Amino acid sequence: MILSLQNVSKTYSNGVKALDDVTIDIKAGMFGLLGPNGAGKSSLMRTIATLQEPDTGTIDFNGLDILSNKIEFRKSLGYLPQEFGVYPKMSASDLLHYFASLKGITNKSERNTIVDKALEVTNLSDVRDKHVAGYSGGMKQRFGIAQLLLNNPKLIIVDEPTAGLDPAERHRFLNVLREIGTNHIVIFSTHIVDDVKELCTDMAILNGGRILAQSTPKEMVTSLAGKIWKTASSREAIDGLQEQYNVISSSFNDTNDLDVRVYSETSPGADFEAVPATLEDVYFTTLNQNAQPETVA
């Protein structure tokens, strides 16, 4: 199973170039698309989901040209956008039966089996008789996954699914994605580095509508081994450090000063100590090295 994008570009009518010559292959498993707000992630997700046409480029899924065969492709697609609708006062079970009927599953016994499985996978069996409109944010996100699983899609796209979830809901949602990611291509779009670190077997960093890097999270972290250094700084001195060094991030420590992380091929000086690289270091270093103006969502 493989999704292949070749030279995909998209410019909106206001002149914003949302996608800039995107070429990438995505195989089975959890694929993290990581980038800041405005990087073009949602534009790429909508294009792959055939909700908008690219200006140039091709997209193939298992040899099928999806831009020329949208209806056929959508039979294999499950898409969970950032905002996915307001639900009527219906139970999760009844609503899933309704969605299954719309997807052509007319046999009631078959529908019961499919709905029960979707509720089980998304950990919603215990609340199947409650109105979805009254679900928490995390439960609604899991219900969104349940409804897209009804037609057993081979390619699943989830766009910023953990934004706004509390830590417990986020953990439950990520566990659901882990379970379904073993047998599908799941493209997971997010600006949260920890989500990708915990979840994904492959990833890419996107900004300015361009793919800046692609590899496994482990390989990306390994590529920065011996190149990340840390020093302590007062808040007043941070501007000077940023002018002199390649500062990639800073955070407050226990003494209310700043721990400053710097990218450098060699030691920046006696005040710096070498520290293990993290995926967050990879993310900030990649963005800094490929600085681009923001595009769109």
pTM of the model: 0.85
Per the prediction, the chain carries an average pLDDT of 90
Supply angle C-alpha 81, 84, 90, rounded to 5. 150
Q: What is the pLDDT of residue 86?
A: 60
Q: What is the pLDDT of residue 3?
A: 97
User: Taking residues 18-29, what's their average pLDDT?
Assistant: 95
Pure H helices in 86-192: 92-102, 108-121, 137-148, 167-180
> What region, left, alpha or beta, does residue 104 occupy, with left being phi > 0 and alpha being psi -120 to 50 degrees?
left
Q: pLDDT tens-digit profile of 55-99? A: 999 999 999 999 999 989 988 998 888 766 667 788 999 999 988
User: Taking residues 267-274, what's their average pLDDT?
Assistant: 93
Measured distance between the N- and C-terminal CA atoms of the chain, rounded to whole angstroms: 28
Domain boundaries defined on the chain = 2-213, 226-275
Q: pLDDT tens-digit profile of 163-207? A: 778 888 888 888 888 888 877 899 999 988 988 988 899 999 999
Asked: is 2-213 a CATH 3.40.190.10 domain? The reply is no
User: Taking residues 258-263, what's their average pLDDT?
Assistant: 93
